[in-house]
Structure 1
């Protein structure tokens, strides 16, 4: 599906208010050049990344590039999804966490994979560590120092977004209360993000309903039929007796 699945990309902590600011500028009708300049001005007033222990100066240009790649000028194959996410935000402002989570997961699948490993560990225990998460990620991305370092930026972003919390022991994190998603249309948005974050662009329905990458959310029990009816970009495939698979039509 493209280089998105091969690159790590998240090279610093991304704060939730930066995502909100980007969307607000986009919804206000500013063009790409104007949004980029406004983001530079906005971040120039911020000190650091919002993660207390982050070392060194935040690269403002790097942060702006990441934000632009997520919401303003994503890959061509993400444009329809971006537009759907903007519509979702207008209709469901109380679920903005889900919209931002979906968009960053699609644009940067590394985020999705860090979330998946985090959720897997939290399903087994009450707290997780950076070391545990990065060890699992290295099985997928290789034993590179950059994997551990960039995983830390994503984990710190999870804390900045309020889906994880720092515990007393440094490098240990606990889970915060989840956001409840109540209908198929809303669930479809994060399901589509998972499909976009997966190279094969197809996932069994059971794995979507219980996907550990959605650990910040309470996902409703919905059927493949309801998702495919709500989303014209998602196709339902039945196999076996009662098994269902969701895939992107373009895949």
Structure 2
């Protein structure tokens, strides 16, 4: 797709963000850690002020100061931090990343789709599909590499052959009702439309997770979600308060 300068979507997530940084930023939002601790972590890896500033910017959008409309969602994620096992923390960071950064979400969705059959794919395939939306730009290419590097650090995939191939890792089973509902909401925020309950489990953007709870039941209990029936008598789920959502059937 040919894109003009003004129509090319914003990238936003263009840095490698290790899981310990993302987790620390979440803990800062939850009041469990100090901003100084996060600054120290960033300073251990990023030596220049310019690099530290860029990393801080991504972390602000992720947890520290997300854009308008995501603050309450982030707050509910911070509350969940105190309720879930430590091993499930990457799911919170993943959900926030796909909600706050469409670029991250698109890389995640493509990774999920392209690895769904054989479990792996060439990273060049991800780049080719990303170029259809973000253009043949070196900045987009580098940013997609950094998102894949971030996903690998968060435990969702493995990069081999010097990053030329990516392998999907075994999914994490999510059994906590609150975290399940929150991840459903994250997928809805990424897609920008309602989704069929039947397709949620196989949603490409949530490929690192197996949601093993009855999803319709979980959604019906969440004050943030709303179950509706479509014309074929199947159930769709939407974010509470959205009128006449489109059904996402992919």
TM band (smaller chain): 0.7 to 0.9
Deviation, structure 1 residue 181 = 0.8
How many residue pairs match? The answer is 234
Deviation, structure 1 residue 221 = 5.2
Give TM-score scaled by structure 2 length: 0.84
Q: Does 1:151 align with 2:150?
A: no
Q: In 2, Cα distance between the equivalents of 1:209 and 1:76?
A: 28
Q: Does 1:240 align with 2:231?
A: yes
Q: In 2, Cα distance between the equivalents of 1:77 and 1:180?
A: 28
**Corresponding residue of 1:249:** 240
Alignment deviations for residues 138-197 of structure 1 (CA, whole Å, 9 cap, x no partner): 233344333322111100111111211122454112122221112443221111111111
SS of 1:91's equivalent?
A: coil
Q: Is the 8 A contact 1:209 1:221 kept in 2?
A: no
Q: Does 1:87 align with 2:87?
A: no
Q: Does 1:11 align with 2:40?
A: no
Q: In 2, Cα distance between the equivalents of 1:82 and 1:98?
A: 13
Deviation, structure 1 residue 19 = 0.8
Map 1:179-194 to 2 at 5 A: 179-194=172-187
**Corresponding residue of 1:127:** 120
Deviation, structure 1 residue 245 = 1.6
Q: Does 1:226 align with 2:226?
A: no
1:20 to 19, 23, 35: 23
Q: Is the 8 A contact 2:15 2:58 kept in 1?
A: no
**Corresponding residue of 1:165:** 158
Alignment deviations for residues 207-244 of structure 1 (CA, whole Å, 9 cap, x no partner): 32210111211122524243132x21211111123322
Q: Is the 8 A contact 1:40 1:61 kept in 2?
A: no
Q: In 2, Cα distance between the equivalents of 1:142 and 1:248?
A: 31
SS of 1:123's equivalent?
A: coil
Q: Is the 8 A contact 1:184 1:222 kept in 2?
A: no
RMSD: 2.5
SS of 1:241's equivalent?
A: coil
